[in-house]
Chain A
Amino acid sequence: MSRQAAENIIVIKNLNFYYGQFQALKNINLEIKARRITALIGPSGCGKSTFLRTLNRMNDLIEGARAEGEIWFDGKNIFSPETDLLELRRRVGMVFQRPNPFPLSIADNVTYGLRVHGHFDRLFLEERLYWSLKAVNLWDELKDRLNESALNLTGEQQQRLCIARLLAVQPEVVLMDEPCSALDPVATARIEDLMRELRENYTIIIVTHNMQQAARVSDYTGYFLLGELVEFGDTNQIFTSPRDKRTEDYITGRFG
């Protein structure tokens, strides 16, 4: 990689997470590099989604959920009481597993986040609409259909639109929870291309069950097992010479 060494954008220290009595994350320590793609892999139920949701505190919405530890983002601990939760979620955005556009027009979907954050200037909204759709390579396809319902789009277009909706509010970090699991292989490959483009300007953390996908797109990979971060490192290293036996078993498919 000819890019300069990346700085840390998020630093996670001694993170524990509980759903009531159940501990879903156990003492996670991790540094997320800016403008890189970090992939999180691991078997079902190991806490990947839970971990992702702690980063923008979406877990706050779950009754009985509780986090301990520190997550440093932009020089501040996001668990501190001074955190502006709405601003945190704008800066650390999320793409979900199933494409989930609002039952609104394509344009209104993209500008939703802007309007929520108090932008109503027509010109500004139109500019951002153009810019966001351009960024996810949807503009040319959809520029004549901006007022059509977003629900008429294909699955891939919908997922791109959801990414555009997120980019419109100019986040710094993009969390993706299995963003391709509802798409076919061709669409998946194109979304992966998009992720590589976005890496120029955004920090991406992606949860995936697809080991090839992690190997193809990510710079760093973390392997979760039963709420623990077993191993974290360069994607190349993880996939060619894992240090931990459990990681090796998992990536070679001997897990079970």
Chain B
Amino acid sequence: MLRINPRTEQKIISYLLYFLTSIAIIVLIFILTVILKNGLPQLSLEFLTKNPADMGREGGILSTILATVFLTFIALLVATPLGVGTAIYLTEYTLEGRVTKIIRFGAECLAGIPSIIFGLFGFILFVNKLNFGWSILSGGLTLAFMILPTIIRTSEEAIKSVPMAYRLVSFSLGSTRWQTVTKVVLPSAIPGIVTGVILSIGRSIGETAAVIFTAGSALRMPTSIFSSSRTMAVHFYILAKEGVSMPKAYGTAAVLVISILAINLLTYYMMGRYIKKKS
């Protein structure tokens, strides 16, 4: 057998890991450069505050920004309470057993389903069966189910990582389970839960397949949750794929990427402050 000096081994491994990490960073930088280099010149106040005209060849992307915001908002409004509630149920209200295994397995499966299948499901259930039509509501609900597993899993991890001692103390002072969950467990788990929600926001903002089937692609300004509308991601997809306007496509992509980056940075900042305040 070939024996390597542990020191050398350590060095080789750390170089290797360093190299692999660099690849990830380089890819990220490459993507950002391409998009920002082509997209930033398109950005202007007008681009952000005007609606698309002539199929998107002219004007800005205001209606698609609003559609994205509304859709994501509905998705979070539905998925966050449902996901966090499920996580609380799984961790605090039932003993590990068959039921929790089945729910968890279900959530895992849900996580593995391609988004286009969610699109089909949303189309059948919300657009047709429930007759919501192609609308912000149908799209938002579909996205809600798509991000649900992420929220359940991250919330569950966050809740589980809260020290058992907090719960015991709380019970020993005569709290109910619900008081213990809301006053002790959830406040400690918030940073983890928020991380999951942010991941989900990112996914919702960037999703195309599931949205195109359920919210449609109308370029009108959304006026109610029953309006069919086009999100930024779908707009980008259509502009680029149908060769409508590459510059406008890049502009849209730049706005998308910058918003996601901004949301992430803001969250890190806020979490940092929250954790500091707590400890």
Contacts and interface: CB of A to CB of B under 8 A. Distances in A.
A119 B279 CA distance: 25
B179 A116 contact: yes
Interface string B163-193: 1011011111111100100011001100000
Contacts of B174: 85-90, 113, 116-117, 169
A89 B165 contact: no
Contact of A58 (B95, B168, B175, B188): B168
Interface string B89-130: 000000100000000000000000000000000000000000
A166 B187 CA distance: 21
A165 B173 contact: yes
B183 A112 contact: yes
Nearest to A87: B174
Contacts of B279: 103, 149, 151-152
Interface stretch (A23-31, A93-101, A201-209, A235-243): A93-101
A6 interface: no
B278 interface: yes
Contact of A166 (B95, B170, B173, B176): B173
B185 to A, nearest CB: 11
A212 B277 CA distance: 41
Given A86-B176, A116-B183, A103 B165 contact: no
B171 A89 contact: yes
A56 interface: yes
User: Interface size bucket, A side?
Assistant: 20 to 34
A120 B233 CA distance: 49
B163 to A, nearest CB: 8
Interface in B185-233: 187-188
Given A96-B165, A100-B165, A61 B171 contact: yes
B158 to A, nearest CB: 14
A90 B165 contact: no
Contacts of B175: 86, 113, 116
Interface of A: 56, 58, 61, 63, 85-90, 93-94, 96, 98, 100, 102-104, 112-113, 115-117, 149, 151-152, 162, 165-166, 169
27 contacts: A58-B168, A58-B171, A63-B95, A86-B175, A86-B176, A87-B174, A88-B174, A90-B173, A93-B173, A94-B172, A96-B165, A98-B165, A100-B163, A100-B166, A102-B166, A102-B170, A102-B184, A103-B188, A103-B279, A112-B170, A113-B173, A116-B174, A116-B183, A149-B278, A149-B279, A162-B169, A169-B174
Given A116-B176, A169-B174, 20 more contacts: A56-B172, A58-B171, A63-B95, A88-B174, A89-B171, A89-B173, A93-B173, A96-B168, A98-B165, A100-B163, A100-B165, A100-B166, A100-B169, A102-B170, A103-B188, A112-B173, A112-B183, A116-B170, A116-B173, A149-B278
